[in-house]
Structure 1
Amino acid sequence: MSEPVFLDVGGREVRVSSPDKIYFPERGFTKLDVVNYFVAVGDGILGALHQRPTTLERWPGGVVEGARLSTRQNNRGDAFYQKRVPKGAPSWVETASITFPSGRPADEVCPTELAVVAWAANLGTLTFHPWPVRRDTPDHPDQLRIDLDPQPGTDYADAARVAPEARALLQELGLDGFPKTSGGRGLHLYVPIEPRWDFVEVRRAVIAFGRELERRLPSLVTMSWWKEERGEKIFIDFNQMARDRTIASAYSIRPRPQATVSAPLRWDEVGDARPEDFDVATMPARYAEIGDPHADMEENAYSIEPLLTMAERDARDHDLGDLPYPPEYPKMPGEPMRVQPSRARHPGD
């Protein structure tokens, strides 16, 4: 193994162990390349993470053939989610206290400076998963996140066709969103909101938004939680706004052989963008040329009252209530049964 190198990141000395270790064999990118990438897009990645409780998706062995991510069902993977601050973290790695759906508390990494990002990258962190909250208001999201998730038979181009219609709906309601690629096939829209509502209310707002978008684009959009009912459409993944569910941050590297990254976009780029164009090699030059398209995201903070009014109308006029939470969540008030439709028992069965 190669000798460690030491980087000056914002006045902090960050140690990079085994800098020549290959993290992306198909591209030849090393651990040091990964750390240097995050430093190159520094203000952008820090803007996406600053003061936010952040889960670290760590791939300490790199994205090599056969490597897989540990899951709740199988924790024997090569990579894993770090939801608590790692032991031995430097004193300048600050934390934020959050509460999981189970009610258990935890202290997560809370980036306040770029050195924290570089330190986490040295631990094998490729993807940063920030909560949609700041640490001083951990129960009240300040971002409404809309995940346009392509289902089998669809791809980024289909999500890109839906995105302008989603923005038009937001603007009708007095809001606006900021688009970014997921780093895979999907698109994410971030809407800055006032931190006045809790996770249940903000999730309800996303459900109302998705239902209205589905009504307007029934051949393109689905709100069906059950995969067997979605078809070849774009799924509005409303449960990404449930507590402790997060989306890969802007500028995060995705664990794919091509080392693609989640790229913030201008709205005029959405239709022509290709997710594979944004990777560890190309993003630093793009960033140096155009800066961060999301730099002014926090200049406005919108109210979700119009969406909550829409949710009330759906309940009153269409008898549309809540939708299922993910299976690991405790049963929530007003939630329907979490039973796959094809397995549900019906009267007379």
Structure 2
Amino acid sequence: MQKKGRTLLAGVALSSPDKILFDAQGLTKADIAAHYMRVAERMLPWTRKRLVSLVRCPEGRSRECFFQKHGGKGFPAEVKRREIVEKNGGKAEYLYIDDLAGLIAGVQMNTLEFHVWGSRIDRLEKPDRLVFDLDPDEALEFADVRRAAFDLRERLSAYGLKSVPLVTGGKGVHVVVPLARRAEWPQAKAFARSVARTMEAEEPERFLAQAAKAKRKGRIFIDWLRNERGATAIAPYSTRARPGAPVAVPVSWAELSELAAADTFHVADMEARMQAPEPWAETAGWRQSLTRKVLATAGAGDE
């Protein structure tokens, strides 16, 4: 619906719908909103009722962008607010998404990336997933990252945990472990740290469990730090504020073995992608958690 230079989508008034957000592709604000309408059914199960941080690009991808995690003025009501207690004991207002209208409202605020917490607002202290971000040195090939993802899958399987891969739209792969909401953040962080450090100890020429760029030469940083309270990871099906309008896309392990890059998928590919089977559908039936046995086996203790 058009009204005085605005387009009404999912009940949200989209101003300046013709504003170009991706110059090279000619993608407008309306095009990005259409993307989220297209992928919402698959995206929302992974974003609904999670605190979000937004990468906003008011003048498009090629201009200045900024990261926002707290509430601010001007947001449509469809982007919800939640006051939470932070690590230092103070309180701050955060944002979360409930539905398609919330995604479109984010686009109205020129959001090009949605990053989500690993827990939901009704049980904020109990994560329902782990995310291991495989972040390679620039000199490495995607084949190296792909191999690392499969090695990590096997490592997690040895602890009795199933996982699924997400290509980030950048250079890396996220290995995601859906969880029943039993363990709290300290246990999740301890487990993820232990997994990363063990893999580094066993193959120090391939893996690194520290974020230091100077030490990453020829290696892959297993970023376990996304598994702590307040940390975020790119949401499945989110666009990325990168050249080419890539999208972070869930894939199957079989599909990952065939992919040539982590930025394979773009906004223009999503219509066809939505016609294919949902690669993470099987996770709906998984019931796994960070039990004391799993933590002890991984050397994470009972923190």
Please give the TM-score of this superposition, normalised by the length of structure 1.
Answer: 0.79
Deviates more, 1:86-95 or 1:186-195: 86-95
Match of 2:236 in 1: 250
Higher mean alpha-carbon deviation, 136-145 vs 87-96, is at 87-96
Distance 1:299 1:109, change over 3 A: farther
Q: 1:52-80 CA deviation, whole Å, 9 max, x = no partner?
A: 1111221111112xx2xxxxxxxxxx322
TM-superposed CA distance for 1:103, in Å, is 2.9
Change (3 A) 1:54 1:173: same
Q: What secondary structure is seen at the aligned counterpart in 1 of 2:267?
A: coil
1:251 Cα deviation after fit: 0.7
Quote how far apart the aligned CAs of 1:91 are: 4.3
- Displacement of 1:311 in angstroms is 4.9
In structure 2, how many angstroms separate the alpha carbons of the residues matched to 1:294 and 1:85? Answer: 31
Which stretch of structure 1 is more off in the superposition, 118-127 or 102-111? 102-111
Residues 279-323 of structure 1, C-alpha deviation per residue, up to 9 Å, x if partnerless?
Answer: 111122212x214322443432422234421454799xxxxxx9x
Q: 1:22-61: CA deviations, max 9, x gaps?
A: 1111111111111101111111221220111111221111
Aligned-residue offset at 1:89: 4.2
Code of the residue aligned with 1:58 in structure 2: it is R
CA distance in 1, matches of 2:245, 2:84: 30
2:33 aligned partner, one-letter code:
V
1:300 to 1:185, Cα distance in 2 relative to 1, 3 A: same
Structure 1 segments unaligned to the other structure (5+ residues):
68-77, 316-321, 323-349
Instruction: Answer yes or no: is 1:159 the counterpart of 2:145.
Output: yes
Match of residue 53 from structure 2: 55
Q: Is the alpha carbon distance of 1:175 and 1:91 closer, same or farther for their aligned partners in structure 2, counting shifts above 3 Å?
A: same
1:205: Cα distance to partner? Answer: 0.3
Note if 1:42 corresponds to 2:44: no
| Alignment coverage as a number of residue pairs | 298
Give 1:95 shift: 3.2
Contact 1:223/1:230, CA 8 A, preserved across alignment: no
For residue 31 of structure 2, what is the aligned residue in structure 1?
33
Aligned to 2:82: 96
Code of the aligned partner of 1:34: I
Which position in structure 2 is the counterpart of 1:285? 272
Contact 2:173–2:262 under 8 Å retained in 1: no
- Check 1:123–1:147 CA distance in 2 against 1; reply closer, same or farther (3 A cut): same
CA 246–107 in structure 1, closer or farther in 2 if over 3 Å, else same: same
Match of 1:23 among 21, 25, 28: 21
Matched, 1:108 2:110: no
Check 1:152–1:102 CA distance in 2 against 1; reply closer, same or farther (3 A cut): farther
Aligned AA (2:161): L
Which residue of the other structure, out of 194, 210, 221, is the alignment partner of 1:208? 194
Tell me the SS of whatever aligns to 1:110: strand
Q: Which structure has more strand as a fraction of its residues?
A: 2
Identify if the C-alpha distance between structure 1 residues 89 and 230 changes in structure 2 by more than 3 Å, giving closer, same or farther: closer
Equivalent position SS for 1:54: strand
Higher Cα radius of gyration:
1
Q: Are residue 199 (structure 1) and residue 185 (structure 2) matched?
A: yes
Query: Partners in 2 of 1:214 and 1:179 — Cα distance?
Result: 20
Out of 4, 7, 12, the position equivalent to 2:6 is 4
Relative distance call for 1:299 and 1:202 in structure 2 (3 A) is same
With over 3 angstroms needed to count, the CA separation of the structure-2 counterparts of 1:59 and 1:236, relative to structure 1, is same
For the structure 1 residues 100 and 291, does the alpha-carbon distance in structure 2 shift closer, same or farther, using more than 3 Å as the test? farther
* Change in 2 beyond 3 A, CA 1:24/1:48: same
C-alpha deviations, 1:174-199, integer Å up to 9, x for none?
11111101110000011112322222
Q: Are the aligned partners of 1:260 and 1:275 in contact in 2 as well (CA < 8 Å)?
A: no
Kindly, what percent of the aligned residue pairs are identical?
Answer: 32
> Which one-letter code corresponds to 1:59 in the other structure?
C
Unaligned runs of 5+ in 2: none
Number of the residue aligned with 2:257: 271
What whole-Å deviation, never above 9, does each CA across 1:154-207 have from its counterpart, x for those lacking one? 243211011111111111111111110111000001111232222222111001
